[in-house]
Copies of this chain bind each other. A is one copy, B any other.
Amino acid sequence: MPDVGHNGPPIASDQLRSIIERVETLEDEKAVAAEYINEVYAEAKSNGFDTKSLRKLVSLRKKDRTKLLEDKAMLELYAAALGCLDLV
């Protein structure tokens, strides 16, 4: 438990500083990766690709294949019942 809430200098500041710094370092790494991802998409776009479709494809490939098919089947069932199967 950090020694907070009392009068005088709050103390767990070394521990606090360590936490913040570790997070910030990791967030930097995350931001760098995110930036590279954007660059890849930007390059793809300049080569005529549709980035929205690319992003969608990446997200689909990340998901569990079985569950994806189940969800798709359920959606088609509902769409059929509503007479708008063409939407899915």
Contacts and interface: CB of A to CB of B under 8 A. Distances in A.
Give the one of A5, A24, A56, A86 with max B CB within 10 A. Answer: A56
B86 A69 contact: yes
Contacts of A29: 29, 33
A62 to B, nearest CB: 7
Interface residues of A, number: 57
Contact of A53 (B15, B22, B78, B86): B78
Give the one of A54, A68, A69 with max B CB within 10 A. Answer: A54
A82 B57 contact: yes
7 contacts: A10-B77, A12-B49, A12-B81, A17-B82, A19-B54, A30-B34, A53-B75
